[in-house]
Structure 1
Amino acid sequence: MTSFSFASSSLAAASAVRIGLISDTHNLVRPEALRHLEGCDAIVHAGDICEPAVLDALREIAPLTAVRGNNDTGAWAAALPTHATLHVGDVTILVVHDIADVGKYAQRDGVRVVVTGHSHKPLIDERGGVLYVNPGSAGPRRFKLPISAGLLLIDGAQVHATLHTLTA
């Protein structure tokens, strides 16, 4: 497991922390995705990266937390965690590729946000006080699903999620 803390007090210009959410890039780094992530304080990739060059491109924009997806194989991918926990302001975020695996990793007490990928279906849903966000897929189009990414805005204990279609 990876644990990452990002204190909003370390930001000079803004009180809210912007976390860019991306998943299921499948070795495709779209310029639209990079533009969406510009200006973020941190980026979360929820798996199915497929090549380490994707992570390199994202790290050029902001600090990156990434988890391994079911299509991430090889030595480079073995070094990625299956899940990660981030602490941003007063908000704890659990990142795992497949929502079906959340129960394996979560001592969910205190988790306010769960970020997943895998389905390629963008989703924001709040259940039992936990915000579930799947940014969808920023990689190759699958079926008729949109090409999308997401954003978390965190200010202290407040969190707001949005989804963004990247291409028409």
Structure 2
Amino acid sequence: MKIIIVSDTHMPKKAKKLPSVLMRELNGCDLIIHAGDWQTIDVYHEFKTFAPVEGVYGNTDSEEICGLFRESLLLEIKGYKIGVVHGHGQGKTTEKRSIAAFGNERVDCIIFGHSHIPVNKDESGLTLFNPGSPTDKRRQPQYSFGIMEIEDKMHLRHIFYDSKV
């Protein structure tokens, strides 16, 4: 199973279309997970043309997106519990807010966004994954998104690239 993970697309403000490297990976994927800050519903509709889409809203999303998605989401995929949250809020770091969003719920992985900083690390058996942003790298050296592959085990990796064209 191949899952594309994105966050912080901020379209059309930061890009008029999805980057070509992301478009290539979307072909043939089984699921798309968006961790918020879509900006407009058009992004959701474009992703839906490739695969089913799951996601949450972020702090810059339109009322339409906030009405369609929740603040956090818990998915069970091939035996893995995956939490999804944008990670915005007051106090703490984005990572700590993301972990706190799932309280005592046992999850294998938390996907979050907000900071635009790519993260892929293990914290006491919990995988924390931020795909970065495919269109707004901020102070990062490259744009990025993530790919999760689940066969016998869950494997997460980033795709990094220099141009959002």
Query: Is the structural similarity TM-score above 0.5?
Result: yes
Q: Distance in 1 between matches of 2:135 and 2:104?
A: 29
Q: Distance in 2 between matches of 1:76 and 1:117?
A: 16
Give CA-to-partner distance per residue, 1:115-155, whole Å, 9 cap, x none. Answer: 01111111100011111111100123313442101011112
Q: Distance in 1 between matches of 2:111 and 2:35?
A: 7
Superposed displacement of residue 108, structure 1: 4.5
Counterpart in the other structure of 1:155: 151
Which residue identity is paired with 1:55? Y
Alpha-carbon contact 2:116-2:136 (below 8 Å) kept: no
Q: Distance in 2 between matches of 1:108 and 1:151?
A: 26
Alpha-carbon contact 1:149-1:166 (below 8 Å) kept: no
Mapping for residues 33-72 of structure 1, pairs under 5 Å? 33-72=22-61
Superposed displacement of residue 103, structure 1: 4.3
- TM-score with structure 1 length normalisation? 0.82
Which residue identity is paired with 1:31? S
Alpha-carbon contact 1:124-1:134 (below 8 Å) kept: yes
Q: 1:18 to 1:66 in 2, by over 3 A?
A: same
Which residue identity is paired with 2:98? V
Give CA-to-partner distance per residue, 1:36-64, whole Å, 9 cap, x none. Answer: 22221101001110011111111111110
Alpha-carbon contact 1:42-1:62 (below 8 Å) kept: yes
Counterpart in the other structure of 1:76: 65
Q: 1:76 to 1:144 in 2, by over 3 A?
A: closer
| 1:19 has 2:14 as partner | no
Q: Distance in 2 between matches of 1:40 and 1:62?
A: 7
Q: 1:103 to 1:30 in 2, by over 3 A?
A: same
Q: State the Cα RMSD in Å.
A: 1.7
Of 112, 135, 153, the residue aligned with 1:139 is 135
Q: Distance in 1 between matches of 2:106 and 2:28?
A: 28
Q: Distance in 2 between matches of 1:126 and 1:160?
A: 12
Query: Residue 162 of structure 1: SS of its match in structure 2?
Result: strand
Q: Distance in 1 between matches of 2:157 and 2:29?
A: 13
Aligned residues: 151
Greater share of strand residues, 1 or 2?
1
Which residue identity is paired with 1:93? I
- TM-score with structure 2 length normalisation? 0.83
Q: Distance in 2 between matches of 1:122 and 1:103?
A: 16
**Alignment gaps of 5+ in structure 1:** 1-16
Counterpart in the other structure of 2:118: 122
